[in-house]
Structures are given as structure tokens and as C-alpha cells.
Amino acid sequence: MRGMRRLGLFTLAFVMIAVMLAACSGGNANETNNGNTGANTGTDTGTNQEKEDSAPELKETELKMVLLGDTPTDLDAMLAELNKLLKQELNATIAIEYLPWSDWEQKYSLILSSGEPIDLIYTSDWAKYAQEATKGAFVEVTDDLLTKYMPLTKASQDPVSFEQGKINGKLYFVPKNSAAFNGEQAVLIRGDLREKYGLEPLASVDDLRAYLDAVAANEKGAGIIPYAASQDNESFRILMQEQEINMINVGPDYQYRWEDHDSLTIDKIEYKYDSTSYIAFAKEMKEWADKGFWTKNAISNKTQPRDAFENGTSATLIWNAGTVSASAAKVTADHPDWKPEVYDVIPNSIKRLGLYTADGMAVPANSKNQERAFMVLDYIKNTREAYEILQFGIKGKHWEPIDDMLWKEGPEYDRFGGGANGQWGFNNSAFKRTKEGAFPAEAELDAIWKTKVVHPKTETFVFDESNVKNEMAALATLRTKYRAMISLGMVADVEGTIKEWRSQADKAGLAKVEAELKSQLEAFLAKQ
């Protein structure tokens, strides 16, 4: 097979892995066909080629992978191409299930606790990593495991990335290999509408409010709403950053002010959802909802804000700089008369460079193919051909390379979407490509934001939920119930609803969670 004839670091590494599989304790070391090779089957003729092909064979295996996002139309076509490589190199194939944005939070924990066999799953510091890891949902990623099954990742990835992902000294997923500003918010608007109503370029949240007001008052007849809110309204947390401009989140549902950083003690921590900033945010969301800044069915709306902006039914998109820049580039190509513009409307706020843990992949503890899953992850992350099939789709169909750094859309780009759906857990900056005609905002904001980066003492703090699992589950249910309707302004009495939420949280064991958080945080700070 082609994979057995390729020389170099990758082949040598996996020959070593295959040999070690038979001796590996735990997991599924029986994948090696009892360790038999061509060298001891009586078929060796002594030729160099056959000696190269004499490594132990891995049993044919299909892996299931779970990613976040909406299923691409050409998923099966992409997988057919990717699986050709995986079959040749590792005698494995993968099937992918997507958890849609509309209900991924509800489905994520359920799919892990159901016992359904899953071999790889996307996770991150914002997508239930700590919550699920402390339940024992993921395989521990030890240094020995990396050496045996992910040698390329171990050799190429910054060791800091593994340190950032540890909970009580143990790592339970493989983070991406690059950090980015994926938590900071940028605003994309229709420049033609801003000019139409004689508004200045946006420099603040006040300017954003004026723009949304103008659209609400004048564009309803054209079928354009100010913002296509969907399910929740967390994108507008920029308002909380404006009102409490130096807030740092820490642990579950708690925060503290950056100006207190140098003298940070546990008494500075406050519950986020009845804080001054959250109440002010909720009241403004109520005002905006009453003005018609989004539809009255936003809480059940399943059209993503990005899709609504690109199809012309929404006048605004608020997301990270990479996402809004990609959307602006698409609009520039499809509707140049819309004159897309990207802004940072909270330019005086502190900026936090995302951790490596902002994206990653884990192997669930109930996987029957744990070693092979890590091997497949290592292969895709570090083999350009496989990596680009997963990220961009089929070359010549979904995308086309321009040179080693640039790419452009292929004739059927929309049937796959170029890295838009959950593949971020595999991100490798060594293979990064820039899309032809990329909107310059991402690079420009990146350069500015890097001059404003702060590193809070709690930057690498990870809360261990082990002692408060039941309370955390109850609090998560309450967040699902209350946060969406409050952030969408769909309550008659804002303060009354927030008080009701807090009362229910107290009954659910919030005090116990807070005590556990402060105990862990105090121990963490003592080591700083």
C-alpha cells in the first residue's frame, strides 16, 4: 500500500506505534492482529520492499467523530476522500455526526452519557471541556500516550498548550496548536445603510445603538431587521464589557474586575447573573427587544446570525474578528453595493488572547478504539493532504489552492463551506491558508488587539466540578431556562426575573458551588 512505502518521520513514527500497541497495557492493544508481521509468516523473500512492508497491520476500524455545527451538504463526498487516506495509512475510516448550533448544548452531554460509542469529539474551554472531563467523560492524555500515539503532535506543538488544558494536573484533550482572539467581539454592518442615514463610522456602542435604531425605524418594509438574534443573545455581551469594561470571567458563572487584579483575593469574585453589569445589560436588551431590533420569535429562531446577514435579512453581525471578516469578504464578493464594514465598538477595553484550549479534540472514555482515535487525530493534524480535505473539502470542487498560502472558493464551495463547521479542534497553524480576497479587518484588529493584551492571574485556572456535579447540572438547567429569555429581552420584569433566577440558583446549591470555587481559586492563587 502507498502508506507502507512512504519513508520519513511519519512512517517511522507509526511503525513504532504499531509495534508498541501489542505491549501497551489497557485500552485496545489487541488491534495489532496479535502482533504478527510479514517477517514471521514465512512469506519474507528477503527483498527490501517486503522488509519495508513488514510492520504489524492494524485491524480495520471505523471511528465515529462528533463535531459542532450544521451538517455540510457534501459531508459524505468529503469523507470518501479523507477515508481513502486514513484507510491507506491507518486502516481506519471515520464517520462524522454534527451537533447543530440550535441545540448542541443540550445534546452534547446527553450523547456522552448515553453510552453511544464515540471515538473523537470536539471540546474546548467554552464547549464543556472541564464540565465533562471532571465527570470522567474523556480519556486522560498522558505524556506516554502522546509519545506512543501522537508523536507528531508532541514534537510540533508548544508544551504550554498541554499545560493550559490540565485540570488538577491531568490533561483530558488535545488542544489546538495556536492561540487566537476568538473570544473578542467585532461588529459587522452594512456600510450602505450607515451612509444612507447619514451616520458616522462606528466608534462606540452608542454609535452601534444609533445604527440599529435607524435600521429598525426605516428598513422593516425592505425585510431587513437590525440583528437576527437566534436562540440566545450572548453576542451582545459587548455591552457588559462596555459597562464593566474590565471584567474577567472565572469558574462557573463568576467574574471579577481586572483593576483589582494585582490585589486579587477570593472576596473580589462575584456571581455574574445578578451583578450590576448583567442587570444593566438585561435592561438594555429589554429596551432593544421592544424597539424591534430582533424578531419576537428569536428564542426559537434557528437561522444563524451569519447566514441572515449574508442573505440580506439582517443588517448586523456580531462575532469574533475571523468570522465577521469572512462574512464581510463573502458579502463583498456577492453584494459589493452593501459596503460591509467591521468595527471594534469597545476599543478601550482590555483584550485577551484566547488560550490554546479554545479548541481541541477529546477521545471519550467509552470509545472502543482509543489508541486508533489518537493516531487518526495525530495523522490529520499533521498531514497536509488529510488536513486540507477535512478543513476545506475536495480540491477543485469545494476549494482551490492559489499557492502555499492562499486559497479560493471552488465551483461547489457552498456545499462544504471551508472550515466553517467544527473542524477547529484540528487547527494547525503550519498549514494555515488565507482566503483570496480576505477582508482586511481580521489582520488589522489582530495587530491592534495584540498591543492591548492582558494576562490575568486566573488565565489558566480551570474549575474542577467533581465535588459539585449535581449542583452544576442543576445550575446549567437554570441557565438554559433563564438566560436566553433575559438576554433577548423577552421578560416583562427584568429585575424580578433575575431575582427569581437567583432564588432558584440558591435552592440548586449555588452557595456550595461558590465555596468550592473559592477554595480551589485560593489554592491556585497561592501558587502564583
**For every residue of 179-200, which 3-state class applies, written as one string?**
CCCCCCCEEEEEHHHHHHCCCC
Which residue ranges does the chain devote to CATH 3.40.190.10?
A: 60-178+356-427
User: What pLDDT does 436 receive?
Assistant: 84
- The 10s digit of each residue's pLDDT in 11-66 is 445 444 443 443 343 344 334 333 333 333 333 333 334 333 434 589 999 999 99
- 420 band by pLDDT with thresholds 50, 70 and 90: low
CA 259 to CA 282: how far, in whole Å? 24
Backbone angles phi, psi at 330, to 5 degrees: -65, -45
Enumerate the β-bridge partners of residue 453.
351
CB atoms within 10 A of CB 284: 19
Would you state the cell numbers that stand for residue 309, as one nine-digit string?
446577514
| Percentage of residues in the chain having pLDDT higher than 70 | 85
Would you state the cell numbers that stand for residue 490, as one nine-digit string?
423577552
- Cα 93 → chain centroid: 24
- The 10s digit of each residue's pLDDT in 53-101 is 434 589 999 999 999 988 999 999 999 999 999 999 999 999 999 998 8
Long-range pairs for 196-203 at CB < 8 Å and ≥24 separation? 201/341, 201/343, 202/341, 202/343, 202/345, 203/343, 203/345, 203/347
User: Do the Cβ atoms of 176 and 164 come closer than 8 Å?
Assistant: no
* Lowest model confidence (mean pLDDT) among 46-55, 104-113, 456-465: 46-55
In this structure, is the dihedral angle defined by the CA atoms of residues 79, 432, 441 and 100, taken in order, positive or negative? positive
- The 10s digit of each residue's pLDDT in 369-407 is 999 999 999 999 999 999 999 999 999 999 999 988 889
Q: What is the mean pLDDT of residues 136-156?
A: 96
CA 52 to CA 515: how far, in whole Å? 60
- For 60-178+356-427, CATH gives 3.40.190.10
Would you state the cell numbers that stand for residue 31, as one nine-digit string?
488491534
Would you state the cell numbers that stand for residue 373, as one nine-digit string?
482515535
Pairing of strands 406-409, 434-435: parallel
CA 248 to CA 253: how far, in whole Å? 11
Amino acid at 453: V
pTM for this prediction: 0.73
Radius of gyration over alpha carbons of the chain, in Å? 25
Cα 342 to Cα 79, 187, 315, 367, 425: the distances in Å are 35, 5, 12, 43, 26
For residue 348, the SS3 value is: coil
Amino acid at 437: G
CA 148 to CA 14: how far, in whole Å? 9
Cα 312 to Cα 226, 301, 317, 501: the distances in Å are 11, 16, 11, 36
Looking at the predicted structure, is the pLDDT value of residue 501 above 70?
yes
| Residue in the block written with cell 436562540 | 231
Pick 404 or 468 by higher pLDDT: 468
Backbone angles phi, psi at 502, to 5 degrees: -65, -40
